Structure 1
């Protein structure tokens, strides 16, 4: 439904409730709003709206609901599953105008923010208040907290702080008919009936639009002790993680794995000198943040030395400065450089039980090699929280549509009782595979919930389920 198909009364009302300066139609819609970081293509939107308040969001949704006009909420458009690409004839609801930081309460360890607030700005505001917001991911400079919450983002610190869900105390959400749910809880403990906010965390904008959030903050981190470790096999990585968590009293902040194929690829693409020789099967980036990293250094080094003595690790490089910490992390974050030279590629974000990751990776590698001889594939991930990332490509000469490669991988993930989406959401891209991780009774319950909260089906139609 394009502008010339929207009746004039609707267009006028949309401009009235959102402000004429905050509404654009047809060719005036920014090109950046027509896609996210995925390869999914959406429809042609009818309008683009940037509300500045919760009341404006409520009025927009009430209007669209009464006219059966679809609405697609959009954050920083850094998603990888196509969850924010336009639906045909939709009003795109950009939350960028709701970027306020309303309050920081150090005594309660919380921050009140608008859904459009950029993640990095939240991190910096917390740091300025001598506190720490634990969510962190590569898109920190562009992703918005509303989108992070709507996709239950994971990132680099899940092993210690949990997914985004664990960092949200309260939410304000607007339903499809314009009803505002003021669930702005400020307490860690609140058992006054069912906690409704959890229905909207991870719902990808299909059940309601998040407009504000109360975030949980932690004591400030002033640095980290970081090591890049070479391991003889995957089983040794499990032993190292257990050893580190036990020795360091659960203070491991990140435990990232890079198989040799990824490690050699990122060294080649970035031109970096390897901190550890590139001839080991697997590498771990282990990180322990703290308020006084200098005083933690002895314990961290003792942990590594004990792992050497137990023959858990084969080699290691210990970061001696903040610059070296950044260098080690640049290897793990160097996937963007790899992707830039391997297009078209398929990026997988999956999870299986931690103890089974090694076997699962071996089985996927063998299946891809058998079905698509010569197909490049690299493996890495936040393995400490059971998350594996896999990139295959270039794929053009092997499987132009990508469907057969995806089926090969997802069928193996299903046999391990894993998830087709560990942290990126479902959107459009993984919708065909959702049944591999959710039973029909679960899907039926999700559809019932959708019907109850959005009976006209206007919110992010066609996404997820």
Structure 2
């Protein structure tokens, strides 16, 4: 095999470091970072592609001793610039992508961090089980990336965040120390739960290399999906509580689309088509999973019939096939349609359900007062308090983006909400972290960072605001 061409670097010390890593890791493990990014300004010095945990440890130990910075890369589907690696080494987990074991009796999966979520999900289903984590980016997001951001997704209302699915993990610290705690027990109350240090830390405290995931019993085809038109947000919340009670813990998704968003994903050039003859204020996607889908469908149909009679809902349709079910979800996932308006800004916030109507009204009013054509387009996992707010079009004027951030995050802060429900902090939100965290919490985060990464080697500049 011919040797790879040398990577052009700005500083001699970088060249020496890459030569040492190339010699230690072998052909194909160190590649030019400029080939992996859209903007040359964001290009890492190089992309490192380890094949196992020992190589990750070698990379981090070598980089830490040399004073180089390392940014972990998963599927790079995040939305907060958490993987920006300019001037650093990018540590890609793409070659560490194996499913090591599925324990059907114990309902666990041991998987390497670079495994794509959809691959893991399909493997679980083939074994008669489910991995509950479900994201729009399922085809490219990795398990390690989901763990590092504590990803949420469509089924949080029933199964919780990624944190709730991780039984054990293996991580490598900045100095190359390997912390292996591949626990497979649901109950293990022995001292500090160290895995929680790495779940949601966005690669700033350690690099996750392997994980044990808690699988659940398969639904056996027992999935019930409905699309419901609802006149008011109060009716939406009433419907949520009624569905939760009626489906006896089987409710797995309760997604709400405000009408602005629904119109985008059901008109040309979008492929989706509305089942309604008229417009409605809110559109709710309900899904239940159990071994008895027929009973769930009957219960839900009866509930929706009663709600129609009492005028709590305006219309409803229950999917009769997988094709119809997929069509409902395709509308919910067709987020790219918001780009029709021009430049956008995407926000991911969490609020008490009782505060959502006031939040939306305040943001609409504040945006309209500044720019007549700019508005929020809203959808989200309302059942767990998570709204996605996309502001479009973003004006080209200076500081428009900063002003929009202040409008949205001020409305969140006034309602004791969170500036990030599931996307993380990265670079985009770190200036606003203190709007959802106390000074004592931020100070403790800094202390943890210094304790585990004293040389600031791992994903520097992310998550924690500058002191």
Q: The TM-score by the shorter chain falls in which range?
A: over 0.9
Q: Tell me whether 1:418 sits opposite 2:446 in the alignment.
A: no
Hey, what's the Cα distance between the residues in 2 that align with 1:364 and 1:376?
A: 8
Which residue in the other structure is 1:298 paired with?
Answer: 298
Which residue in the other structure is 1:99 paired with?
Answer: 97
Which residue in the other structure is 2:130 paired with?
Answer: 132
Using structure 2 for the length normalisation, give the TM-score.
Answer: 0.94
Which residue in the other structure is 2:279 paired with?
Answer: 279
Q: CA deviation at 1:373?
A: 1.9
Cα pair 2:222 2:289 within 8 Å, conserved: yes
Q: CA deviation at 1:399?
A: 6.2
Hey, what's the Cα distance between the residues in 2 that align with 1:86 and 1:415?
A: 34
- Going from structure 1 to structure 2, the CA distance change for 1:18 and 1:33 (only over 3 Å counts) comes to farther
Q: Tell me whether 1:31 sits opposite 2:38 in the alignment.
A: no
Give deviations 1:270-315, integer Å, cap 9, x for gaps: 1533112442111111111223423432122122123223332121
Report the more deviating stretch, 151-160 or 366-375.
366-375
Which residue in the other structure is 2:334 paired with?
Answer: 334
Hey, what's the Cα distance between the residues in 1 that align with 2:92 and 2:37?
A: 8
Cα pair 1:229 1:276 within 8 Å, conserved: no
Hey, what's the Cα distance between the residues in 2 that align with 1:272 and 1:149?
A: 32
Corresponding residue SS for 1:253: strand
Using structure 1 for the length normalisation, give the TM-score.
Answer: 0.94
Hey, what's the Cα distance between the residues in 2 that align with 1:49 and 1:430?
A: 27
Hey, what's the Cα distance between the residues in 1 that align with 2:109 and 2:272?
A: 39
Q: CA deviation at 1:45?
A: 1.9
Cα pair 1:42 1:85 within 8 Å, conserved: no
- Going from structure 1 to structure 2, the CA distance change for 1:105 and 1:425 (only over 3 Å counts) comes to same
Which residue in the other structure is 1:49 paired with?
Answer: 48
Q: CA deviation at 1:369?
A: 1.6
Which residue in the other structure is 2:371 paired with?
Answer: 372
Which residue in the other structure is 1:406 paired with?
Answer: 405
Hey, what's the Cα distance between the residues in 2 that align with 1:397 and 1:10?
A: 42
Corresponding residue SS for 2:387: strand
Hey, what's the Cα distance between the residues in 2 that align with 1:334 and 1:11?
A: 41
Give deviations 1:372-401, integer Å, cap 9, x for gaps: 222132111111010011111121346664
Which residue in the other structure is 2:3 paired with?
Answer: none
Aligned with 1:158 (options 110, 135, 156): 156
Q: Tell me whether 1:190 sits opposite 2:194 in the alignment.
A: no
Hey, what's the Cα distance between the residues in 2 that align with 1:141 and 1:271?
A: 20
Hey, what's the Cα distance between the residues in 2 that align with 1:297 and 1:310?
A: 20
Q: CA deviation at 1:4?
A: 3.9
Hey, what's the Cα distance between the residues in 1 that align with 2:273 and 2:180?
A: 52
Give deviations 1:15-52, integer Å, cap 9, x for gaps: 1332232112xxx33533467xxxxx964422211000
Cα pair 2:226 2:316 within 8 Å, conserved: yes
Equivalent residue pairs, number: 455
Give deviations 1:123-162, integer Å, cap 9, x for gaps: 0000100100000011100111000000000111101100
Cα pair 1:138 1:333 within 8 Å, conserved: yes
Give deviations 1:163-201, integer Å, cap 9, x for gaps: 000000001000000000001111010110010100110
Corresponding residue SS for 1:6: helix
Show structure 2 runs of 5+ residues with no match: 1-7
Q: CA deviation at 1:7?
A: 5.3
Q: Tell me whether 1:308 sits opposite 2:308 in the alignment.
A: yes
Cα pair 2:338 2:392 within 8 Å, conserved: no
Cα pair 1:276 1:317 within 8 Å, conserved: no
Cα pair 2:18 2:30 within 8 Å, conserved: no
Q: Root-mean-square deviation (CA), in Å?
A: 1.8
